[in-house]
Every structure is written in C-alpha cells, then in structure tokens.
Amino acid sequence: MHYPMRGCMLVVMDAHATPEDIQAVCTVIEDMGLQANTMPGPTRTAIGITGNKGAIAEAARLKLMPGVRDVIRVTAPYKLVSREYREADTIIEINGVQIGGPSLVVMAGPCSVEGRKQLLTTAEAVKAAGATILRGGAFKPRTSPYSFQGMGEDGLKLLAEARELTGMPVITEVMDTEQVDLVAEYADILQLGARNMQNFALLKRVGRTRRPVMLKRGLSSTVKDWLLSAEYIMAEGNQAVILCERGIRTFDDHSRGTFDLSVVPVLRELTHLPIIVDPSHATGRWQSILPMARAGIASGADGLMIEVHPNPAEAWSDGEQSLLPERFVELMEQVERIADAMDRPIQGRTKAATV
C-alpha cells in the first residue's frame, strides 16, 4: 500500500559509493517496512524512500551508513514527480520507442477511429513521414452529448490491428475507471484527457496499472495542480508518466486555447517527467499547427502529438484541427530542421521520408 508522502526522504549516495553500499542502504530501508527506489543519475545515485506515513524516525541511522552523503527531505508538494526526488530525466521505452530521451518522438493519427480504412490509411501515412506512435480515440469525451462518442471496443481492436501492421505503439484515451482494464488490454499508452486531469479515482486506477500514462493538462489548471495529479499516478506505483501541454483556457478566443509553451522550461526545472506538446488541441486550427509544432520543439519539449486525417472535411470529430497527410509531411520536414539545430534527432525520421 502507498501512503501520503508527507515525510518523503531521499538518500543521496556519494559518487564513489559501491554497489554493496547502495544495496545495504536499500536493505535497511526495506527492514523499516518501506520501499527503496534506486535512481542512478549522471553525478550520483539516489535512493527514494516511499511508503511512509510521515517522518522517518531512523533517518539519522541512514546518514551514518557507508557511502551515504546525505539524507534530505523532499520539500516540493509533489514528491515522486519532483526534480529534487530524481535528478536524471525519466525515459520511458515502449517497443523500442523512447519518450524523454535525447531524441524526439512524434505521436500522430486521427482524433477518432472511424473505421478500418480510415485508420490504416492514416497509420501508414504518418509512419512513412516519421511518426513512431499512433494516436486515435476509441472513446471520445465530447462537449455535446449528441456528438460522436467513439467506436468503443471495436475502435480499440482496429488500433491493435494497426499496431500489428505498422509496428507503432498505440496511445488512446481512457475516460473512467470501468474502462481501464479494457483499454489497457489493447493500448500501449493510456491517455488521460484534460477533462479528467483531476479525476482522482481514475488517476489512482491507472496508477495501479503498469501501462505508461500520458496526463494532459487541465483546461484551467496551474502547474502545481498538474504535477500533483501526476503524483497521484506515481504514488500508486506507476512511474511511467508523461506530461502533455494541450492549451489552457484564457480570456482570448482567437484559437481553441492558449498554447502555454512557457510551461515547458518551467517543467524542466520542476520535474524529471517527459513533456509532450499538442498544438492540434491547443490551437484548434490546422493552419496554426505547423508553426506551433516548430515552436513546441524549440521550447524544449520531448515530442509532439498531432492529429492527421485523410479527409478532414468529413472527419467525425475535430476535422478543423486535423492535417492532411501531405501537410503532416511538411510539418515533419520543418520540425526536423528545428530538431537538428537542437541536436535532438526525431525517432523514425529519415531524410527521404515521404508518404
């Protein structure tokens, strides 16, 4: 069982600590009835202590052990999520695709799965252009109860088929606790949408799965709100969390939302988690997606989520913010130039990539 992290502690090992020193500290922590989470970093190894209800009475004992440089209390309100807790960036690997590493990842596909031909056509096109993760909604949270709500399990089956044909991992949204097991059966990454960012029962439930979770920022949420929601997931034992900026609600209405790219460098300081940006949902206009995708990569994000549809004019949801496949190729070509300037290659992208 995982308890609130009111007294979260971090054991910082000396740079010259031996594997035996590290194991001895882990053994003592486990003898206390707590969990030891070893986190090798570029300059140090740290051991996070989780499972405590409050302050750790035997912290002084740990300080005296061989190889221990310090025992510190994590002061941020979010503990496991914080850069204090983990120095090195988290890298999540799914079937050979890395999220959060030195290279960039592009997730692309239709807003909604509408049928086999539509999905497979889009999947083949985005893969040819250099995308490495396929997105597509089987369950759709819609503002209007009369709008298309998704194909449900039939849509999940089509996503699984597309994965088999293209080799791309699949990300799709889960909307409530009852859907988690079903969606996890088919998807490689579980997406929690903006409307569910503070659905605490759902956060805890996906935290008990071992599927990576992408958590979108709520429409009116602060950074602190967002990171505490990620903490809910991690506190349940799921360390594979991805953050996604998708635009927030402000007083202006020139676009669907305000694309808060200033949050990316702030997150870099506060958390070790990977950061994806979604210019499709942020702007709501296909004309704005390309320049905002360029800006998203320049801001330091670890990747993009882009909506692509073979015929946006007839899309069942969000056609106005979906790119035609040929426009997606143009986006990838331009984004690649930004990525090259930052020495961050795009996974799956080759110079000759075409649809």
The residues spanned by each domain of the chain are: 9-73, 92-341
How far is the C-alpha of 41 from the C-alpha of 297, rounded, in Å? Answer: 25
Determine contact, residues 183/156, Cβ cutoff 8 Å.
Answer: yes
Q: Which of 220, 226, 190, 219 is nearest to 205 (CA)?
A: 190
The per-residue DSSP string of 115-171 comes to -HHHHHHHHHHHHHHT--EEE-BSS---SSTTS----THHHHHHHHHHHHHH---EE
pLDDT, residue 323, reads: 97
Q: Is 247 left (phi over 0), alpha (psi -120 to 50) or beta?
A: left
Determine contact, residues 134/124, Cβ cutoff 8 Å.
Answer: no
Please give the CATH number for the structural domain made up of 92-341. 3.20.20.70
* Predicted TM-score (pTM) of this structure: 0.86
Find how far residue 16's CA is from the centre of its chain.
Answer: 33
pLDDT tens, residue order, the chain (355 aa): 333 434 578 899 998 899 999 999 999 999 888 888 888 877 778 888 877 665 566 778 898 999 999 888 887 888 889 998 888 899 999 999 999 999 999 999 999 999 999 999 999 999 999 999 999 999 977 677 767 677 899 999 999 999 999 999 999 999 999 999 999 999 999 999 999 999 999 999 999 998 999 999 999 999 999 999 999 999 898 999 999 999 998 888 887 889 999 999 999 999 999 999 999 999 999 999 999 999 999 999 999 999 999 999 999 888 899 999 999 999 999 999 999 999 999 998 865 444 4
The β-bridge relationship of strands 105-109 and 97-99 is unpaired
CATH 3.30.70.1140 describes domain 9-73: yes
How far is the C-alpha of 32 from the C-alpha of 51, rounded, in Å? Answer: 10
> Helix count (H) and strand count (E) of the chain?
11, 14
pLDDT, residue 354, reads: 44
pLDDT, residue 1, reads: 37
Instruction: Give yes or no on whether 9-73 and 92-341 have one common fold.
Output: no
What are the φ/ψ torsions at residue 72 (nearest 5 degrees)?
A: -125, 155
